[in-house]
A and B are shown apart, each in its own frame.
Chain A
C-alpha cells in the first residue's frame, strides 16, 4: 500500500514536470531570442541519461493510462498552448476613403481605423504621409523636398500631410513669424501614446511570418521633423510654427483640441482631408500600445506601430542587432494607398435596371407599321449612383432572348432592326432604352443588358454592367371589352352584348360613358386561376349576376360600372395561369370615362362622303386625309345612306331620332325617307345643287334594369344616375358626281403637267449635259491612247 502511494506521488510529480516543462523550455528559448536574436532550442535536460529518461517516460505513460488521460489529446493541447503567444494579432490599421471615386480638385478624406491597440483613438499618434504624382521619386528638390535635405523621401511625404493637418487652411503667407508665438503650442510626446506618460517604453515590431514580436530600440517616433528640430520634444517655437505653416497667434491652429505640435505629431488625428489630384497616394502609421501587455515587470505595455499594409517583415531588419524605430522608416514606402486601390468598387459603376411594365405583353402579329401592334412599349430604365458625370457615360444596350430564364448562353443579341421602334442603343447619355414588343418570333424571356463606361481622368476608365430578365407574354391574348345588356328587375342579370373598342386607337384607351356597365373577358379557354383587379383592387361581387359567375372564385369574365367622373380612367388587370404549361399571363386594359357623343357617317361612300378639307401630316410624316364632320357631298339622283356612330355607348335603333330638313324621319307609309332596323337613314337625292340638313338625336341613359343593377350591385343611389341628350347635324350638298369628278380630275392632271414642266425641262437639261460630259470624256480618253502609240 505504501509502495503504491509512493508510486502515485512520483507519478504526480512527473505529470507536473511534463505539463510545465514545455513552458519553461519555451521561456528559455524566448529569453535567448531576446538577448541574441536567435531561435536556439537548447534545453537543460540534455544531460539526463537515456536510461533514466526511459524509466520516467514509462512511469508517466502508465500514470496517464491509469488516470484515463488520452496522451495524444493532451500532447496536442499543450502544443497549442506552447505557440499561443505567436498567434496573437498585432495592432493593425485600415484605411477607408470618402468619396471612393474623388474628382480632381475635390476634397477627399482618408480615415484610419486602428484595431488591437490598447489606447483610445485620441491617444494614438497618427503619422500621415502623402505622395503626389509629381513628387513620386522626383529629384526636384524645389517643390517636393520640403525639409530641404537634398532628397525627396518619406519624410517629405510626412511633412506634406502633417503640414496640411496642422495648417488647416490657415493663411500662413500673411502671418507674422518674427515675434515669439502667443500661447504654448508645444507638446511632449511619450512612447506608446499620450496616455503612457511615466512608463518605461518597450518598443516591439511583429514579424508576420513567425508571429514573434521582436524588440526595438525606442529611439524615436515616426513623427516628421522640421529641419534641425524634433517634433514632440515639448518645444514649438516660431521657426517650427513657420515651417509647419501654423498660426503663431493660436496654440491650436487646426482646432483639434490639441496643440500645434501635438497635431504635427498626429495625436488623435485619425482622419486626413486633402484636395485630390490624380495619382495621389496616402498612408498612415499609427503608434500606440498593443493589447498584449508583454512580460515586463512594471506597468508598461508594448509600444507598437501599425500601417495599412503591415510593418516590415523580420527579414528587413538587420539580424543580430536590435534595430531601432527609425530603421523602419523605409517600411512606410510599402504603405502608400490610392483611393481606387483601397476601394475596388470605386472602379466599378454601380448600375441597376428597372423595366416597365414588369410583365410586358408581346404582340407576335406582323404589322407593316409596328405602332399598330398591341404589344407593350417596353422601357428599361437604368439607375447609376456613382457616376462622376452621368451626361458623359457611354451606354451600350443589348437585348437577348431565350426560352430559359437562366441559360448557359444567351447567344447573339437581337439586332436593332429586329426590335420595332427601338431607341438608340449605343451612345452618350442613353439612360433608358425603349422598344415596341412586336417580336414575331418571341422567346419566353428577354434579357436586356446594359454596359456603361465612363472615361475617367487619365488613362483609366470605369465600367459597370447590369442586366434585367423580363418574362414575356406572347400568347397574343388580349382582354376584350363589351357593352352590356341588363334584364330583370328583382335580380338583374347582366350579359355581354357587342364588343367595343376594337379599333387601334380605342384599343389603347377604350372610351366608356358614365354609368355604363362594361364587361371584360379573356377569350382564351386555356387559362385558370383568374385574378381580376381594377385600379389595383380585386373585383368583388356580393352576389352572382352574370353567366359563368362563381361566388367562390373569379372566372374569365368580369363586369364593372363607370362611376368615376368624365376624364377619369380605369385600369383593369387580369392575372391568369395557363392550364397546360403553368405560364402566367398578365393582361391589362385601360378605360376612360367620356361624355357620350354621337356623329353621322356615310353608310355608302360611293354615293355620299364627307368633304375633304385637306391633308394633315402626322409626326411620322404620314399623310392623312382630313374630312369634314359637318359637310358631306352626295351624288344627285341616287340614294344616300347615313349611319350613327356613337362613342361611349351603343344606342339601339329605337334610341336614334333622325331629322331631315327639320322633320323627324318616321317609317310611315308615304314618307320618302326611311330608317332601317339597324338605324341607317336612307334619303333619295334630288338634282345637283340641292342640299339637305340632317340631324341625329339620341338620349343617353341607362334603362331601368341597369339602374337597378347599379344600385343593387354597386350601391349607386337612385336619383344619381347620369343622363344626357346627344345630337349631331350635318349638311349634305348634292352634286352631279360624274361630271364634277371628271372635270376636276382632268383639271388636276393639266395643272400637274403645267407646274411640272419647268422642273422636268431642267431635269432633262441636267441629264443631257451629264451624258454629253460622259461621252466627251470617254472619247477623250480613247483618243489619248492612239496618240501615244503614234509617238512610239
Chain B
C-alpha cells in the first residue's frame, strides 16, 4: 500500500478478519467481514464509519476483548505474533507492553472506587516492578504533560472529583505511562465537548508523535480522522469500503459511501440550505446481502452490485470496494 508498510515489518497486520457474535438464535451474527489492515510502526491510522460499522469491534479484536461466544476467523498479527493464539501469560504481556487502549467513556472505564494515583501506578508497580515512589513521580510527570494542573493533588483524588475532559486526559496519561507500541483509541473524544475535544486530540497526537507510537484512531468525525491520521479506512457494515491517504481523501474519494459522507458534512465556507443525506439507514454486517453491502442505498447501483460481492481493489492510489468506481468517477469528471 504505502512504501512505508512495504519496507518495514508491519506493527499490526490484520488479514481477512471475520468475527461472528453468538446471536440469540442458532446462527451466529457476522459483525466483521474480511477486514484487511496493516499498520507500520509509528503510523497513525483512522477508522471511520457509522455506528455499527464494526470500528470498535475491529480494535476490540486486536486487544482480544471480544464478547463471550464471539468467534474469530482470519489473522491478527502484532509484530509478527498471532494475537488469537497467545497464551494467557503472553496475552497479559502483549496487553501490558504491546497495546494500550483509550476508551470513549473514561468515567465508566476507570474503577470509581480507587484514587487516580492508584489507577495510574498499578500497572507500573505490578507488571513492571517499578518502585511505588518512582511510579508516582512518573505518573505526576505524565499528568503534567497531558495538561493537568497540580498533578500531585489529582493523584490523591477519586475519579468522581474530576471532569470528563480531565478524566480522559488521565486515561491518555495511563496509556502513555505504559508506553505501548500501539495505541487503540476508540472514539476518545466523543464524550467531550468540542473545545476540550480539540485540546485532548492535540495532546494525544503530539505525544504520540514524540514517542513514535502507532495508533488506530476510531471516530465518527471524518475531519478529525483526516487531521490526526496518516491513512484512513472507511468502514461500512463490517467491511472496509475505501482506504487511502488522509490528505487524498477530500479530493480523491471514490467510493459512493465515502462521497456521501463527505457530501453530508456542513461546510464553514459555503452556506447550505439543506445538508445532503445518504438515503436509507445504516446496515449492519449481518443484513448485507450477497453483493455490495451499500447496494440498496447507493445512487449508482446496478444489478451486479446486488449479486456479486466487490473486492477491495487498488484505485487511484487507494483501495476501493466498488464494482463501478471507475465508471462513476469518469461520469463525475465529465459532468
Whether chain B is bound by chain A comes out as no
Q: Which residues of B contact A (CB under 8 A)?
A: none
Q: Which residues of A contact B (CB under 8 A)?
A: none
